[in-house]
Structure 1
Amino acid sequence: MKKQIVTMAVLTALLTPMVHANEAGDWVIRAGATNVDPDSGSSGVYVEALGGDTPLSVSVDDNTQLGLNFAYFFSPNWAFELLAATPFEHDVIINDPSGIAPGIFGVPVDGATLASVKHLPPTLSVLYYFSTAGSFQPYVGLGLNYTTFFEESFKSGPSSLGFNDLELDDSWGYSAQVGLDFYFSESWLINASARYIDIETDATFNIGEIAGSADVGVDPMVYSIMLGYKF
């Protein structure tokens, strides 16, 4: 009988959610993998010397880096959050479904890696937690993003065809996210989140002496899995 009572007590303890009430003044620091997955659509390329809009377009691949996340609770249900990361690096792909490129450059370019670019997308958000106690704490958030692009450069192949002087403008936009903190001890947690970030940038470049441009809608989904600590 005593053995059964002990067994039931252990099972009850294991199955009972731990209480982790958030309080004003709490800080949560998280770190882990963050993947930036840009919109799979492509953006049209404009070249004035070729009559303006062309059948060419560009798209951007995804990239994963170390994500850092800081949250400060100013009430049990509300928190500020800052998303940071090591620089993301993306390849820019040129698309030529019409086959126009051989007539311009002398070689096919459809699907070729045109350039690479790095960016940092710090995002400040306000989070609302639906629950301030228990092991599982889901939340939603809205925020403001600033993305700065740097180290834009064409690959050697496109450079040999005359592509040069690539620049991408910085971007301001909104973000929206859903997330979940799962506490497995009094202070340690696993975090998972998915957010949409509105990132629009104007890309300018030259083909020889000919000016070209593209309005690039990056608009990525950003996925994170992180380990966190609350103090």
Structure 2
Amino acid sequence: MKKQVLAAALLCSLVAGTAMAQQPAEGPWMVRVRAVHLGSTNGDSTGLGLELNDKWMPEVDISYFFNKNVAVELVLTVPQKHTLTSRGTSLGTLKHLPPTLMAQYHFEATGFKPYVGAGVNYTRFSSVNLSPGLDVDRNSWGPALQAGVDIPLGGKMYLNFDVKKVYIRTEVLSGGAGVGKFRIDPVLLGVGLGWRF
């Protein structure tokens, strides 16, 4: 009886070991597709009461894992059109393109994979169609912070929840002269799917 139990245990361990060996390891790349809500902080030192509208936008993120804990992520989208208002009155529209590069640390947990990140954002303003004489500086550099979680769904697919704070600021110009800073500084709440390969 003891010999049979030992043989069965040995067989089970061999089968389990073979199954684990056959399971493909995750590669260093991960691509996520998210729906992201951009909520602007709307800080304004111009005295004009400037506000940029909130909106939903698509986001694609490409990550490279140096090891199981450390990764870098490039956050991409398409130029986003916004309406700029002054105390509820429209001043016109503009677009912004905000690629962000993040360094991330991924924690080890059972059933989910939380992470935190920090990096730098570059925002390019374009298609600026504002009231006559009114303009904005076209370039913005600022820090970015991030926290999120990847939940395995099987087949190297993950459900992702993510929040970012991105510091985007621009000089507001009237007649070519600076009149103050406008801080968009959005909070980005995202949900999406990721694929590891």
For this structure pair, what is the TM-score category when the shorter chain's length is used for normalisation?
A: 0.7 to 0.9
Structure 1 residue 199, shift from structure 2 partner = 1.1
1:63 touches 1:88 (CA, 8 Å); kept in 2? no
- Spell out, residue by residue over 1:8-63, the C-alpha distance to the aligned partner (whole angstroms, 9 max, x if none): xxxxxxxxxxxx9986x51110112122211044x133xxxxxxxxx532121112
Structure 2 stretches lacking a partner, 5+ long: 1-22
Q: Answer whether contact 2:105 2:117 (CA < 8 A) is retained.
A: yes
Q: Distance in 2 between matches of 1:120 and 1:80?
A: 20
Given the superposition, is the C-alpha separation of residues 21 and 40 from structure 1 closer, same or farther in structure 2, using an over 3 Å criterion?
A: farther
Q: 1:22 to 1:169 in 2, by over 3 A?
A: farther
2:40 paired residue among 13, 38, 52: 38
1:192 maps to 161
Matched, 1:220 2:196: no
Contact 1:152 1:168 in 2 (8 A): no
1:152-231 equivalences under 5 Å are 152-154=128-130, 159=131, 163-164=132-133, 166-206=135-175, 213-231=179-197
In the alignment, the residues of structure 2 paired with residue 21 and residue 224 of structure 1 have an alpha-carbon distance, to the nearest angstrom, of 29
> Offset of 1:134 from its aligned partner?
4.2
SS in 1 for 2:154: coil
Contact 1:22 1:77 in 2 (8 A): no
Closer, same or farther in 2 for the Cα pair 1:165/1:56, shift >3 Å? closer
Go from structure 1 to structure 2 and tell me whether the alpha carbon gap of 1:22 and 1:74 turns closer, same or farther (over 3 Å shift): farther
How far apart in 2 are the matches of 1:148 and 1:197? 14
For residues 39 and 167 of structure 2, what CA distance do their matches in structure 1 show?
12
Distance 1:213 1:182, change over 3 A: same
Structure 1: tracts of 5 or more residues without a match = 1-19, 46-54, 96-110
Q: CA RMSD in A?
A: 2.2
Supply the distance in 1 between the matched residues of 2:25 and 2:160 (Cα, whole angstroms). 15
CA distance in 1, matches of 2:29, 2:177: 49
For residues 174-219 of structure 1, what are the alpha-carbon distances to aligned partners after superposition, in whole Å with 9 as ceiling and x for unaligned? 111100101111311111100111111112133xxx8563311111
In the other structure, the counterpart of 1:63 is 55
Instruction: Name the structure 2 match of 1:151.
Output: 127
Amino acid paired to 1:89: K
Instruction: Confirm or deny: 8 A CA contact 2:42 2:50 kept in the other structure.
Output: no
- 3-state secondary structure, aligned to 2:71: strand
1:136 is aligned to 112
**Once the two structures are aligned, what percentage of the paired residues are identical?**
32
Corresponding pairs, count? 175
| Counterparts of 1:76 and 1:87, CA distance in 2 | 33
Separation in 1, partners of 2:89, 2:79: 23
